[in-house]
A and B are shown apart, each in its own frame.
Chain A
């Protein structure tokens, strides 16, 4: 099993749908992250979880709702999204959320298209 996995790899949803993105890490890490990568902006950090506790919310709209049931799993629940939310959503993990002392390892991403 590769280090960080994400499902689904591709997702198309309407603005009224509710869907969830899933991330799982097999590296024994304690910190997990959601990033958004869109064509017009650099990679943007969305959320940080350290030992299942959310430690960073980078002013993300409430239509994105993260969930971290344990240190190995991270979800991103989506509802009433906008077309501008279409992007590649990347999950990452690191041993700790210690500001660069631990390298972040990324999953393959979920390509989201909102119609």
Chain B
């Protein structure tokens, strides 16, 4: 069975601090995809990144970076120089090929960035 664990329920930082959101996943499949979504207070889930299981290169997009390590089954997300607009709930998700698009979500990490 597949599972995604986001152990950090809530994180609070002050603006300009760096923050890392942890994600640990479980699957026996060798081909899978990992995702991060952002859910601001408005409710819409905003897609941030998709990573396949064969690509362990870290990725950087502006202030966002992702560290994928198969050895520890982790896909962590770091925000550098956080801003108030980063305040949201962040979800990590897993999907395996052939699952008819079934995304397995973690419970989410609520990030509060204070000015």
Contacts and interface: CB of A to CB of B under 8 A. Distances in A.
B21 to A, nearest CB: 15
Contacts of A105: 47
A48 B42 contact: no
B37 interface: yes
Interface string B5-49: 000000000000000000000000000110101000011111100
B45 A98 contact: no
Nearest to A2: B44
A16 B103 CA distance: 32
Contacts of B62: none
B101 A42 contact: no
B58 interface: no
A101 B32 CA distance: 9
A108 B43 contact: yes
Interface string A25-58: 0000001010000000011010010100001100
B97 interface: yes
Of the four ranges (under 10, 10 to 19, 20 to 34, 35 or more), the interface on chain A belongs to 20 to 34
A103 B47 contact: yes
B99 interface: yes
B91 interface: yes
Interface in A79-115: 88, 90, 92, 94, 96-109, 111
Contacts of A98: 97, 101
A99 B43 contact: no
Nearest to B46: A106
A43 B100 contact: no
A104 B103 contact: yes
Contacts of B45: 90, 92, 106
Nearest to A31: B101
Contact of B98 (A33, A43, A99, A109): A99
Contacts of A108: 42-44
B105 A42 contact: yes
B114 interface: no
Interface of A: 31, 33, 42-43, 45, 48, 50, 55-56, 88, 90, 92, 94, 96-109, 111
